[in-house]
Amino acid sequence: MIPIIIVLFLFTPLAAIADGEGIVVFQEGDGIDAELEQRASSAVDIALHQQGVENRVSIVQNGAVDSAAILMQSGTGNRIRVEQQSVQASLMRMSQGGEHNTLIAAATGTSIELELIQDGSDNHTQVVAVGHDISFQANQSGNGNELIADQLGSGVHASVSQFGNGNLIEVVQNADGAGITVYQTANGVRTTITQN
């Protein structure tokens, strides 16, 4: 699992838009904000790379089909919030490196994949997914990390991995055909999985 995490984290989001369509953002510095919004019926992508501390990203993708939001932050005290609204066959891939970072992913629609990576300690990931055939994969490496997720709909699936001490996992799945796989290796971890 660890080699997979490293490969994903080294992925450069700015190379994701190879066909010259979408939004590409690179920001380097402290206390910076990015607010991105896409409203489209066709395939559109967002790629963002932020470096620094206390940075913020807010993204909304609405109505897109076969689209992707690919984001990477490195630094401390950063925050990413992504909403994919009414999307189909879309991808959300986010990675954060550093401490005290927050990652919030919200998705509604059909056939959505979420890939969430945090490398560092005292980080927080929150997932809210509503729809059909939505799956998320979350990987956290470090101590004192938290993952909180709510899935509502049908055919939902989650795969969560944590490496470190004092980590927390809380997942609620209100769905038909729900599934979850949890992998934790460390001391003092807490896990609560609820399927209704």
Partner 1 sequence: MTFKKTQLIVSIIATMTCSGSYAGNVIDSNQTGTNVTGTFSQMTTTDNSIVVSQDGSDMTATITQSNGSGSSASLIQTGNGNSSITDQQGTGQTVTLTQNGSNDQISTESVGDGHSINAAQEGANNVMDLDQLGGSDNAIDVTIQGGSDNAIYVYQQNGTSASSITISQIDTSNVIGINQDGSTNVSLNIDQQGSSNGADMVQTASDSSMVLTQGGDVNIAGLTQSGGVSGSAMTADQSGDTNMMALTQDGGQGNTMTATQGGQANNMELTQTSAVDSSMLAEQSADVAGSYITGTQLAGDANAMMLYQVNGTAQSMIAASQSEGTAALIDVRQTNCASCTVTATQTH
Binding site for partner 1 (CB under 8 A): 17, 20-42, 44, 52
Q: How far is the CB of 56 from partner 1 (least distance, A)?
A: 9
**65 vs 7: CA distance, rounded Å:** 26
Cβ proximity to partner 1: between 32 and 186 the closer is 32
Q: 65: which DSSP letter? A: B
Distances (CA, A) of 156 to 48, 127, 153, 171, 177: 27, 13, 7, 12, 7
Q: Which residues, 6+ apart, have CB-to-CB distance to 88 below 8 Å?
A: 64, 65, 66, 109, 110, 111, 112
**103 vs 93: CA distance, rounded Å:** 11
Q: How far is the CB of 37 from partner 1 (least distance, A)?
A: 5
Q: How far is the CB of 44 from partner 1 (least distance, A)?
A: 6
Phi, psi of 143 (to 5 degrees): -110, 150
**116 vs 29: CA distance, rounded Å:** 23
Q: How far is the CB of 36 from partner 1 (least distance, A)?
A: 5
Cβ proximity to partner 1: between 38 and 108 the closer is 38
Cβ proximity to partner 1: between 31 and 177 the closer is 31
Q: How far is the CB of 35 from partner 1 (least distance, A)?
A: 5
Cβ proximity to partner 1: between 39 and 190 the closer is 39
**11 vs 72: CA distance, rounded Å:** 9
Cβ proximity to partner 1: between 40 and 152 the closer is 40
Are 30 and 52 contacting, i.e. CB atoms less than 8 angstroms apart? yes
